[in-house]
Amino acid sequence: MPDRATSPSVLVTAAFLAPEAVAILEAAGYAVPCTSGYPSEAELLAAIAEHRPVAILHRQGIINGTVMDAALPALRVVARHGAGVDGIDLPAAEARGLTVTRAAGANSRSVAEHAMALMLSLLKDLPSVAAGMHDGLWEKTSRMTRDVDGTALGIVGYGAIGSKVARLADAFGMRVAAYDPLLSPGPLPGPGERVADLPSLLARSEVLSLHCPLDATTRGMIGAAELAMLPKGAILVHTARGGIVDETALLAALESGHLAWAGVDVFAKEPLDAASPLRTHARVLPTPHLAANTPHGAVGMSTGAAESIVAVLSGRLPALEGAIVVRGGLRIAA
């Protein structure tokens, strides 16, 4: 194990990193200190002052220009533990000549499975059926749930995760359609019908599942107007990134009865406030941003991030699906 006092360090912005990833970094000669679970800017600055990292393996917190400046000139790479890079200020990294990577495909199967679990649970009204059982009800003849077969599923974002959701849903007999302006023109590279614009997708989606990144074009993309375009009784499944959905508008759509259910794994502020109505609303099935937390998904994200750090610091570009490289004013999406 490298000596923390003398070895260059890779700072993990979380309280824990998978042992497989730690082993990769330590084998390459790096010490691997961790922060608290959700480090504040002050905590990050203190950790940087103590460890002077050559790389940051980013799981929680915000890596902004102030944090980057504190780590310079030693810092060379920021590697995201996962697909979303919204917690990293990419323009700031670009301006400072840093390399930013993400492990885009590592957790795609895990997140797709979680989206399907939410979808199936809500199509079958399982939260309220279970609540009735807990209260002593026996709704054998008084309740009808929905058929999954034939239900219209709309997918926003047909990348590594969205395309897997499409394949799983297709196996259940769902009628899949998708909107993704980032895809090359032509048919979808998997099951489903391609839809040209978001309003057209919304109008036909009995279930809407979100799988797009959070950026300037998608922040607040699903608001009151968009939710109103969904058919009455629709279900929203959100496993992408908090901030894409206007949470106030979502609660209003649920209260009005326009939406039947929402299955939500990601939130605009995380951890979600203890008093948030999204925790306790009778028509919300909330989970704490754990869709990727399976043995395969978690280890894949950790080792993918670790391998990209070693590759960048050794002078090789990271060979990762969906990697972003920001270096010297050049951005490459691989």
Quick one: pLDDT band at residue 84, thresholds 50, 70, 90? confident
Task: Please give the structure tokens belonging to residue 20.
Answer: 């497989």
Q: Residue 103's pLDDT is what?
A: 80
The mean pLDDT value for 211-218 works out to: 90
Q: What percent of the chain has pLDDT over 90?
A: 79
10 Å Cβ neighbour count for 221? 18
Residue 1 has pLDDT above 60, yes or no: yes
Residue 261 has pLDDT above 80, yes or no: yes
Residue 237 has pLDDT above 50, yes or no: yes
Q: How far is residue 169's CA from residue 217's CA, in Å, rounded to a whole number?
A: 27
Q: Residue 333's pLDDT is what?
A: 41
Strands annotated E in the chain: 10-12, 55-58, 77-80, 99-102, 152-156, 175-179, 193-194, 207-210, 234-238, 259-264, 284-286, 324-327, 330-333
User: Choosing from 270, 279, 296, 331, which is the catalytic residue?
Assistant: 270
* 270 among known catalytic residues: yes
Strand-pair partners of 90: none
Q: How far is residue 268's CA from residue 285's CA, in Å, rounded to a whole number?
A: 16
Give the residue extent of every domain in the chain: 10-106+295-333, 108-286
Helix (H) or strand (E) holding 166: helix 160-171
Q: 200-214 pLDDT, tens per residue?
A: 999 999 999 999 988
* 289 among known catalytic residues: yes
Residue 329 has pLDDT above 70, yes or no: no
* 113 among known catalytic residues: no
Considering the four listed CATH numbers 1.20.1260.10, 3.40.50.1820, 1.10.3720.10, 3.40.50.720, the one that applies to the domain covering 108-286 is: 3.40.50.720
Q: 37-83 pLDDT, tens per residue?
A: 889 999 999 999 999 999 999 999 999 999 999 999 999 999 998 87
The mean pLDDT value for 314-330 works out to: 57
The mean pLDDT value for 181-190 works out to: 92
User: Choosing from 211, 241, 247, 307, which is the catalytic residue?
Assistant: 241
Residue 155 has pLDDT above 80, yes or no: yes
Q: Residue 327's pLDDT is what?
A: 52
What 3-state DSSP class applies to 296? helix
CATH 3.40.50.720 fits 10-106+295-333, yes or no: yes
Residues belonging to the chain: 334
Q: 239-253 pLDDT, tens per residue?
A: 999 999 999 999 999
The mean pLDDT value for 305-312 works out to: 92
Q: Residue 205's pLDDT is what?
A: 98
- Closest by Cα among 265, 268, 270 to 284: 265
Q: Residue 317's pLDDT is what?
A: 64
pLDDT mean across residues, the chain: 92
Q: Residue 62's pLDDT is what?
A: 94
Q: Residue 326's pLDDT is what?
A: 57
Residue 192 has pLDDT above 90, yes or no: yes
